[in-house]
């Protein structure tokens, strides 16, 4: 269970003024559900994703988030990760000189250690990752390159999905993972998520477009506008948005 109650967050902008970005988010995600969050640019979707992952520049003024009965907001980012929260980044960063496989092994074992599971040795890890990298359609050579360095946009996103498959989160947040992807990559992302769906794991899929949702069918669709969820519906809501845009919802925002 993942419960967000009245979450409000702001950021201090370049002029040192407080900008309120999340203005009272309420969201309950049951085990096994896929929730899509849609909305125009600047509506606060990515802020929500990053705030949940523990990004420090967002200041939380109110609200609470429960993750498996625990208070998520007091945890460090790495503790949230080991609790099972995964964020597929909108813009994955490059880490020069750090081997992609080394990075993933450090991540997997760091989380296993925090969960008091036995660490994977080099051989087991290698066998596992060679299997998983095929699923995301990347060549094995990507394992030996520096993390995201020189990867194309699509390759970076596939690498995010690879990390998700390796870390097997209980709640995965995909922050516009579909933006800028060709149709093949889009399917890889969708297949990655679908392969993890086991009735227990949950997903928050942040997206601008309906097309990802053709391959990755959501249980619930939310529309975010100006820091609030203004409408919630079933998968057909996504189609409606595609047709009508967001304008018709704007009168529903109560400032």
Binding residues vs another protein (CB under 8 A):
53-57, 76-78, 80-82, 86-87, 89, 92-93, 95-99, 101-108, 110-111, 114, 122, 125-126, 143, 146, 163, 167
Task: Find the shortest distance in angstroms from Cβ 169 to another protein.
Answer: 10
Closer residue to another protein in complex, CB, 52/220: 52
- CB burial of 84-103 (b: ≥16 within 10 Å; e: otherwise) equals bbbbbbbebeeeeeeebbeb
Closer residue to another protein in complex, CB, 158/228: 158
CA angle at residue 236 from 232 to 238, to 5 degrees? 70
Task: From 108, 112, 84, 87, select the one nearest 169 (Cα to Cα).
Answer: 84
Task: Find the shortest distance in angstroms from Cβ 95 to another protein.
Answer: 6
Task: Find the shortest distance in angstroms from Cβ 39 to another protein.
Answer: 22
Spatial strand order in the sheet of 202-207: 85-88, 171-175, 202-207, 34-38, 220-225, 228-233
Closer residue to another protein in complex, CB, 96/247: 96
Closer residue to another protein in complex, CB, 121/250: 121
Task: Find the shortest distance in angstroms from Cβ 81 to another protein.
Answer: 4
Please report where in the chains the tokens 């509506």 appear, as a residue.
43
């Amino acid at each position: 269970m993942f419960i967000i109650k009245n979450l409000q967050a702001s950021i201090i902008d370049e002029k040192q003024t407080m900008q309120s970005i999340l203005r009272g988010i309420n969201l309950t995600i049951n085990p096994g559900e896929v929730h899509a969050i849609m909305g125009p640019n600047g509506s606060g979707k990515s802020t929500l994703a990053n705030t949940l992952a523990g990004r420090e520049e967002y200041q939380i003024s109110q609200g609470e988030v429960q993750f498996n009965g625990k208070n998520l907001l007091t945890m460090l980012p790495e503790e949230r990760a080991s609790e099972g929260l995964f964020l597929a980044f909108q813009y994955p960063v490059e880490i020069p000189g750090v081997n992609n496989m080394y990075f993933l092994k450090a991540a997997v074992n760091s989380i296993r250690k925090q969960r008091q599971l036995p660490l994977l040795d080099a051989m087991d890890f290698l066998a596992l990752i060679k299997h998983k990298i095929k699923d995301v359609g990347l060549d094995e050579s990507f394992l030996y390159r520096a993390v995201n360095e020189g990867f194309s946009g699509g390759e970076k996103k596939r690498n995010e999905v690879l990390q998700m498959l390796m870390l097997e989160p209980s709640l995965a947040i995909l922050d516009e993972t579909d933006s800028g992807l060709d149709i093949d990559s889009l399917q890889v992302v969708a297949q990655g998520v679908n392969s993890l769906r086991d009735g227990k794991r949950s997903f928050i899929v942040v997206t601008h477009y309906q097309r990802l949702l053709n391959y990755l069918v959501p249980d619930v669709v939310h529309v975010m506008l100006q820091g609030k969820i203004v409408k919630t519906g079933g998968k057909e809501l996504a189609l409606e948005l595609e047709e009508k845009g967001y304008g018709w919802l704007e009168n529903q925002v109560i400032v």
